[in-house]
Chains A and B, each alone.
Chain A
């Protein structure tokens, strides 16, 4: 059922999430470049600025679809645990940094970093969890 490449649900997750991640990065740079060089009217500017959020939501939907489609309960549990660790890391780091910003004048952390921090925390946790269960 699960070889080196994982289950069919895992394969589908990879095929959904990686292109969306690539699109997120491309849109982020493209929109940033566009808004720096072109003057757009307010509603259009907001619409362009929020565009990279669309593939980001897609990645979250892909994770949800994986949890719905994965037949192996143990693999589902592993992902849920990794997501909880990712959430814990994100809440801890952003709250701690917020305190540093508000109380100690630390430089502002752009909110666009929240999702990458969650992904990094989840990815790291996934490796640790896999190793622990081995």
Chain B
């Protein structure tokens, strides 16, 4: 699954650690999601969407 997490994070000038702290997850989690190696669960995807104030499908796209 593709996602725009890295772009959205860069637009806000947040580091991976900043985003991880806001989501209450590890920095490794943010990195794995950004690189597409790990697809987050639905609750975490909703949390990410809420943080960026966007619908989930605007951040995550099916391949």
Contacts and interface: CB of A to CB of B under 8 A. Distances in A.
A46 interface: no
Interface of B: 20-21, 24-29, 31-33, 37-38, 40-41, 44
A1 B41 contact: no
A80 interface: no
Given A1-B20, A133-B31, A133-B32, A72 B25 contact: yes
A133 B26 CA distance: 13
A73 B40 contact: yes
A132 B26 CA distance: 16
A1 B38 contact: no
A134 B31 CA distance: 7
Contacts of B25: 1-2, 72-74
| Contact-residue size bin, chain A (C-beta under 8 Å from the other chain) | 10 to 19
13 contacts: A1-B21, A1-B26, A2-B26, A7-B26, A73-B40, A73-B44, A74-B26, A74-B38, A74-B40, A75-B28, A130-B28, A133-B31, A133-B32
B47 to A, nearest CB: 11
A69 to B, nearest CB: 14
A77 interface: yes
Contacts of B41: 73
Contacts of A130: 28
A94 to B, nearest CB: 31
Contacts of B28: 2, 74-75, 130, 133-134
